[in-house]
Structure 1
Amino acid sequence: MALQKIVVLDTNFLLALTQKKIDFAPLIREFFDSPVRLVVLKPCLSELKALKEGKRAFAAISEYLRANSVDEIATSAQSADKAIFDFACERGAVVATLDYVLRQRLKKAGVQSITLKNKSIVSP
């Protein structure tokens, strides 16, 4: 049996659900040829609540996360990007993000990332 991949969802990836109307959970699960565990870190949820567009979308995103069995994980980092970077490096997780700068930083550290392109999941 294949090992379960952990995929960490970044704030901007979560916003794609409401802004771009993209149902990303099944897309991510189809992209990988192994079991997937989707997670969101608490600093990302805090960042989402702080954003103007995030406040409006928070209830819908929270419901989506529950419906798709996305695990919420607490971290000691305050910054969402730092929390994601540290978590991915420590756990060998894949990061789902639309943030180009974060993707480049992850790539330099040898961490896989995925992103959305034309409503599909791609690994840049």
Structure 2
Amino acid sequence: MAFYSDDRRREVVVDCLRRHGPMPQKELYERIAPHMQRKTGWKALCSLEDDGMVVRTAEISPTGHKRFRFSLEDWYAMTDEQRERMVTAMESIAESMREQTEIMRGKRTPRETKEIHAEETR
């Protein structure tokens, strides 16, 4: 499998399954392990059907706090533009969750968060 840059690493599981079709969990993890071991904020996980052999759904966890689960059939049915919008929405939600966590832990105030967003949009 080809090397993926940081911005594509979050799609490794789905890309692997798209290229090679359903496969046993062990084989899937062997294929994706080199990519997942690289330092990144994204983790890709798989859930298995009851028979324990075929991967049918994928989960993307941008922060480790919230997982976005979707059917691989739905993923395959999407256009590239729809997939990009979905990933962008997940990243936006993950960023909001990180900000809320920082506010709750006292690392920043809601006012500081608003000021940061104002600076980023300029």
The alignment's TM-score, normalised by the length of structure 1, stands at: 0.30
Larger-gyration structure (1/2): 2
Bigger relative CO (Cα 8 Å, ≥ 6 apart) = 1
Identify, as 1 or 2, the structure richer in strand: 1
The alignment's TM-score, normalised by the length of structure 2, stands at: 0.30
